């Protein structure tokens, strides 16, 4: 029941969005409920273009206070991995940049999230990372798969 209502609220959100998003949600809706319907960051959930946009935002804004190293490594992954990507997105979009929280566009925040994922070895794909709470909540930040070189 809860999942069904969550899906229908997703549909409502999508219908006020673009036609493409509506079509996508309509296709997604019949998928069975439960955690299996979460996507994984290993499935290509952001594009290379978003990473490029994220680099610009990072250089212009985040790098005033942060080195890239702050966003990789065991401590960062322990904090954010194995959780919905929403947790990281929420933290960043509500609290950062700390002297002017929430001052960037949602697209800029999504781009920065894509960049942080890439720094952690998560592969880009063809699907754009949607800058909505719903989309971020439906993606799990998984530890990246080994590259198998």
Where does this chain bind ligand HEC (CB under 6 A)? 57, 61-62, 64-66, 76, 79, 91-92, 96-99, 104, 112
Give me the residues paired with residue 140 across strands.
40, 84
CB of 70 to ligand HEC, least distance (A): 7
**Which of these, 40, 17, 5, lies nearest to 139 by C-alpha position?**
40
CB of 130 to ligand HEC, least distance (A): 18
How many Å apart are CA 29 and CA 148, to the nearest integer? Answer: 34
Q: Which is nearer to ligand HEC, 51 or 62 (CB)?
A: 62
Q: Which is nearer to ligand HEC, 67 or 147 (CB)?
A: 67
CB of 147 to ligand HEC, least distance (A): 24
Residue 22 exposed, middle or buried by CB count within 10 Å (0-12, 13-18, 19+): middle
Q: Which is nearer to ligand HEC, 10 or 61 (CB)?
A: 61
Peptide bond into 97 cis (omega under 30): yes
**Which of these, 92, 18, 22, lies nearest to 54 by C-alpha position?**
92
CB of 13 to ligand HEC, least distance (A): 25
Q: Which is nearer to ligand HEC, 14 or 113 (CB)?
A: 113
């Amino acid at each position: 029941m809860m999942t069904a209502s969550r899906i229908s609220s997703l549909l409502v959100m999508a219908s006020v969005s673009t036609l493409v998003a509506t079509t996508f949600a309509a296709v997604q809706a019949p998928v069975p409920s439960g955690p299996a319907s979460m996507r994984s960051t290993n499935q290509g959930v952001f594009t290379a273009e978003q990473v490029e946009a994220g680099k610009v935002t990072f250089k212009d804004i985040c790098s005033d206070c942060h080195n890239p190293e702050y966003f990789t490594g065991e401590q960062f992954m322990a904090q954010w991995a194995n959780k919905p990507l929403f947790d990281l997105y929420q933290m960043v979009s509500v609290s950062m940049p700390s002297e002017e929280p929430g001052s960037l566009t949602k697209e800029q925040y999504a781009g920065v999230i894509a960049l942080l994922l890439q720094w952690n070895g998560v592969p880009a794909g063809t699907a754009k990372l949607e800058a909505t709470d719903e989309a971020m909540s439906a993606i799990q930040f998984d530890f990246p798969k080994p590259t198998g070189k």
